[in-house]
Amino acid sequence: MNFAAKISKIVIVVSALIAVVAMFGGKTETPKNQTSKSDAQAEAENEQKTADDIMNEARYLCMESLEKNLNDPDSAEWGTWSDNPYFNWPASIDGDVVTVKPKFRAANGFGGTVLGQFVCKLDKSDGWRLLDLREI
């Protein structure tokens, strides 16, 4: 086989490899100014998850603060029976302030079980800080 035939075979093999890489290994990118509906939906879901996570963390921190102030913390019935019963407490976010409205039963100073309703406000701007915890 002469030198020109060898070069020709090498060129054909390299061309074939380039074609295979281009067909199967190339990346496709969406232009920066173009988003598909599924991308927008995924972004909205991520934002919602973030808000839910923030509210759940605030709910848990309110429960911890309330436990510290109860006469008998072990008597507390926080709500529905699950691993995280406080997830059902109403909560809202207004800027950096998260408001939670826990409702639960616990023993009072006389040993009787009473229903407690509170407003718990937390500031999340620089870590978590309790702003207000009061019975309603």
Quickly count helices (H) and strands (E) in the chain: 2, 5
- Check: CB of residue 136 under 8 Å from CB of residue 103: no
Q: What is the pLDDT of residue 86?
A: 72
Give the pLDDT confidence of 123-133 residue by residue, as tens digits: 998 889 999 99
Which position has the higher pLDDT, 75 or 87?
A: 75
Confidence of residue 111 (pLDDT cuts 50, 70, 90): confident
Paired strand residues for 61: none
Checking if the pLDDT of 7 tops 80, the result is no
Confidence of residue 76 (pLDDT cuts 50, 70, 90): confident
- Give the list of residues 6+ apart from residue 75 with CB closer than 8 angstroms, or none: 106, 107, 113
- Check: CB of residue 102 under 8 Å from CB of residue 90: no
Confidence of residue 109 (pLDDT cuts 50, 70, 90): confident
79: left (phi over 0), alpha (psi -120 to 50) or beta: left
How confident is the prediction for the chain on average, in pLDDT?
79
Q: What is the pLDDT of residue 120?
A: 95
pTM above 0.85, yes or no: no
Residue 120 CA, distance from chain mean position: 21
In angstroms, rounded to a whole number, what is the distance separating the alpha carbons of residues 124 and 95? 9
In angstroms, rounded to a whole number, what is the distance separating the alpha carbons of residues 18 and 58? 55
In angstroms, rounded to a whole number, what is the distance separating the alpha carbons of residues 106 and 85? 14
